[in-house]
């Protein structure tokens, strides 16, 4: 699988470290959520079959975190961007 790093170009996935689901958001006020909501945020993840947003760290490259939109069924990479920048949405 090749990952298009926005800083380095196409690189083998072996240069990257998977960083988890990019769609999970930390609660704005951690003290305002229940213990179960906190557990859900920390540990509960969906196991999607198809398009998925993921964090990847270019460990053996530019040392930057990127957000990748990947199909978990085909491993096709649709888009990648530096974390914090919006991935353009395709229609």
**Binding-site ranges for Zn ion (CB under 5 A):** 5, 7-8, 58, 61-62
We find the least distance from the C-beta atom of residue 74 to Zn ion, in angstroms, to be 23
Of the two residues 33 and 87, which places its CB atom closer to Zn ion in the complex? 87
Q: Specify the residue, 19 or 33, whose C-beta has the smaller distance to Zn ion.
A: 19
Can you tell me the distance from the alpha carbon of 75 to that of 69, in angstroms, rounded to the nearest whole number?
Answer: 10
Q: By three-state DSSP, how is residue 18 classified?
A: strand
Q: What are the structure tokens assigned to 13, written together?
A: 């996935």
Shortest separation between residue 9's beta carbon and Zn ion, angstroms? 8
Q: How far apart are CA 66 and CA 81, in angstroms?
A: 6
How many angstroms separate the CA atoms of 53 and 20, rounded? 9
Nearer to Zn ion, 33 or 81 (CB): 81
């Amino acid at each position: 699988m090749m990952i298009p790093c926005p800083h380095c170009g196409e690189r083998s996935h072996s240069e990257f470290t998977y960083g988890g689901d990019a769609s999970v958001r930390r609660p704005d006020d951690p003290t305002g959520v229940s213990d179960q909501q906190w557990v859900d945020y920390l540990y509960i993840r969906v196991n999607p079959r198809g398009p998925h947003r993921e964090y990847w760290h270019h460990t053996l490259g530019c040392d930057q975190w990127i957000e990748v939109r990947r199909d978990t069924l085909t491993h096709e990479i649709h888009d990648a961007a530096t974390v914090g920048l919006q991935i353009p949405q395709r229609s």
